[in-house]
Amino acid sequence: MCGIVGYIGSRSAADVLIQGLKHLEYRGYDSAGIALFIKNQIVIEKSEGRLGNIEKIFRDKRVPLYSSCGIGHTRWATHGKPTTKNAHPHKTGHVVLVHNGIIENYLEIKKELILKGHTPQSETDSELFGFLVLDEMELGASLVTAVRRSFSKLLGQCSVVVMSEREPEKIVGVRNGSPLVVVRDPEGGVVIASDAQPLLPFSREVIFLEHGDLVIATHEGMQVIELESGLEVERKPLSLEWSIEQMDKGGFPHYMLKEIYEQPGVITHTLNQILDRNQKNPFSLFPQPGVNLLNQAQELCLVACGTSWHAALLGKYWIERWSGIPVNVELASEFRYRDPVVRSGTLVIGVSQSGETADTLAVLREMRVRRVPTLGVSNVRGSSIAREADAVFFTSAGPEVGVAATKTFMAQILVMLVFAGYLGFKQKKKSNLEIAQLFNELVKIPHLLSQELEEGSEMLKQIRVTVQNLSHSKGFFFIGRGYSYPLALEGALKLKEIAYDYAEGYAAGELKHGPIAMIDQGMVVVVLAPRDSWRDKTVSNLEEVKARGAMIVGIGDSDDYDLKNLCDDWIPLPSENRSIDAGLLSFILAPVVQLFSYYRAVQKGTDVDKPRNLAKSVTVE
């Protein structure tokens, strides 16, 4: 989604804004722009396409544009095409703004503005806010008052950052839903952004503005007031653990590949952060409000989108098996609009790596109104879901820059398994010995993952060979049963996201209920069939597609020769996997489907880390 950076201080604002926007590129965008105060006038440079276009504009200027105050934006088009005209910042008279989110009543506002004689230049909802501010200032209001009054006319969740030539060297930002974070630059000045990553080079003491906060940044410092009352409020900084080094590719050609390779460490860190190892239950969680919520839950409802939904689905399988507690898994975008029945005793858990996904957040808010307890599972401290749920468990995956979720998925499924073990011990559905065995198996996973990812492993070699053979495939089905089914869905999603291949994930048993009609020689069926209790049934389904001429790629145990013989291409899981419970093979399958998509995307030459049309955190419906 859109990214915002604002800076006022003693450094070159153009440099800070461009570097800051680069940190936000991962969020997805289609145009970019910056606005700088130069001798009390605001100069704007913007362009469709990549940020590099803006850098070029600056390079091409003979005289460097020196400025100590400005705002920048990367736009992910919602209202109006991704053109230079629709790119932010928008200038209306002396008012300049950038915006993230949606103004829901923009049509009414637009009609009123046109009746007043204004002529919007772009197709965006964002630009309209500038006219509102301009009109208020023409009536004599200060910039802050004009922004406050104008904001009260908006419906929807959004944040804006505004400057005016009438009040030079001042930035005013409002957070209303979409995040806005602020740090003090130790060299003097203030940096504002739509997420914490551009701020890390300046300070790790980050202030996450609250919903309904307005920040005023000047060379003297910053002040936060409540949008509605205008009263000053104190907002304490949160100390972020993430370091700027983690934002680096670390020698890998893409962030996505680096993040896939970070997965063993993600498991270890997340376990260390949430498990209290001094208790009888090996899955004991460190005391925190979320533990009480889990203890009281008679039923769970997991709500999520995309990859997080796949993690939640796997969570359902594990939690029900180990604890006997009923679990529903819901797509947030559907759940929120269908008058769902939520029985008393239900704990609603929002699973979201970013903690900002609009639909998931909306469900948690709705549940709060209904007095249903809510829990968040998020990778981002200070995120909206982390702050608005009754309690939160954090995954410790570190910053994920690649748009396609990989290591955060790994961390989410880990938390799901920990919930299963924790609740299983508590519910006594399984013996303590079985729970202890599950834990002993789980702690082997980081080591097994490291071996799996080692250069030279048979798995890696075969993924690369398989991808070479795929060049003319017209579409893919990923199939699996049981714990492999959510992984099949995830494999297909990854391939769609980064390689732009037509791909479907299916429960293997469902193929013959319709999709098998699509199977012919141009289709590839990727079958996930590790040695578990579902393997034989999956192999029968495979026979059905083989009979119809599809190319078959098998992913299974290295010594499963029967399966291997049925397949055209074969990706063996590392033989060391035999030492873990079949119920945990999802952890080992995840990197296989991720790398399969990664190498396919590299083969096709797509933009792996910033795939087209996608955003890292989806802050609009």
**What's the closest the beta carbon of residue 211 comes to ligand M6R, in angstroms?**
18
Q: Which residue is nearest to ligand M6R (CB)?
A: 306
The site that binds ligand M6R (CB under 6 A) totals a number of residues, namely 16
Tally of CB atoms within 10 A around 53: 17
**What's the closest the beta carbon of residue 179 comes to ligand M6R, in angstroms?**
12
CA angle 218, 223, 227 (to 5 degrees): 115
All residues at 6 or more sequence positions from 59 whose CB lies less than 8 Å from its CB, including other chains: none
Contact track, ligand M6R, 150-179, x by CB under 6 A = ------------------------------
Please indicate whether residue 2 is annotated as part of the active site: yes
DSSP secondary structure letter of residue 327:
E
Binding residues for ligand M6R restricted to 45-74, rule: CB under 6 A: none
Find the helix packing angle between 585-604 and 458-468, rounded to 10°. 40
Residue 617 touching ligand M6R (CB under 6 A): yes
Q: Which is nearer to ligand M6R, 386 or 479 (CB)?
A: 386
**What's the closest the beta carbon of residue 354 comes to ligand M6R, in angstroms?**
3
Residue 614 touching ligand M6R (CB under 6 A): yes
Options 170-178, 265-273, 523-531, 611-619: segment touching ligand M6R (CB under 6 A): 611-619
Q: Which is nearer to ligand M6R, 263 or 353 (CB)?
A: 353
Altogether, the residues listed in the chain come to a count of 621
Q: Which is nearer to ligand M6R, 25 or 497 (CB)?
A: 497
**What's the closest the beta carbon of residue 88 comes to ligand M6R, in angstroms?**
23
Residue from the set 87, 199, 348, 405 that interacts with ligand M6R by CB under 6 A: 405
Residue 197 touching ligand M6R (CB under 6 A): no
Residue 508 touching ligand M6R (CB under 6 A): no
Catalytic one of 46, 91, 496, 616 = 616
Q: Which is nearer to ligand M6R, 132 or 487 (CB)?
A: 487
Buried b (16+ CB within 10 A) or exposed e, 504-516: bbbbbeebeeebb
**What's the closest the beta carbon of residue 286 comes to ligand M6R, in angstroms?**
23
All residues at 6 or more sequence positions from 279 whose CB lies less than 8 Å from its CB, including other chains: none
Please indicate whether residue 305 is annotated as part of the active site: no
CA distance 416 to 395: 11
**What's the closest the beta carbon of residue 496 comes to ligand M6R, in angstroms?**
10
Q: Residue 219 in 3-state DSSP?
A: coil
DSSP secondary structure letter of residue 282:
T
CA distance 55 to 58: 5
**What's the closest the beta carbon of residue 117 comes to ligand M6R, in angstroms?**
41
Q: Residue 171 in 3-state DSSP?
A: strand
Residue 38 touching ligand M6R (CB under 6 A): no
CA distance 219 to 209: 19
CA distance 52 to 29: 12
Q: Which is nearer to ligand M6R, 57 or 614 (CB)?
A: 614
Catalytic one of 2, 69, 158, 301 = 2
Contact track, ligand M6R, 337-376, x by CB under 6 A = ---------------xxx--x--x----------------
Residue 31 touching ligand M6R (CB under 6 A): no
CA distance 476 to 522: 9
With tokens 């947030």, the residue in question is 332
Residue 100 touching ligand M6R (CB under 6 A): no
CA distance 608 to 14: 28
**What's the closest the beta carbon of residue 8 comes to ligand M6R, in angstroms?**
30
Query: Is residue 90 within a helix (H) or strand (E), and if so which, with residue range?
Result: strand 90-92
Residue 404 touching ligand M6R (CB under 6 A): yes
Which region holds residue 382: left if phi is over 0, alpha if psi is between -120 and 50, else beta? left
CA distance 368 to 130: 34
Residue 403 touching ligand M6R (CB under 6 A): yes
- Tell me the two tokens of residue 82: 């991704």
CA distance 493 to 502: 10
Contact 216, 235 (CB under 8 A): no
The maximal CA–CA distance of the chain, rounded, in angstroms, is: 81
Q: Which is nearer to ligand M6R, 193 or 550 (CB)?
A: 193
Q: Which is nearer to ligand M6R, 214 or 498 (CB)?
A: 498
Binding residues for ligand M6R restricted to 297-336, rule: CB under 6 A: 305-308
DSSP secondary structure letter of residue 390:
S
Query: Is residue 31 within a helix (H) or strand (E), and if so which, with residue range?
Result: strand 31-38
Residue 618 touching ligand M6R (CB under 6 A): yes
**What's the closest the beta carbon of residue 380 comes to ligand M6R, in angstroms?**
8
Contact residues for ligand M6R, defined by CB under 6 A:
305-308, 352-354, 357, 360, 403-405, 497, 614, 617-618
Catalytically active residues are 2, 616
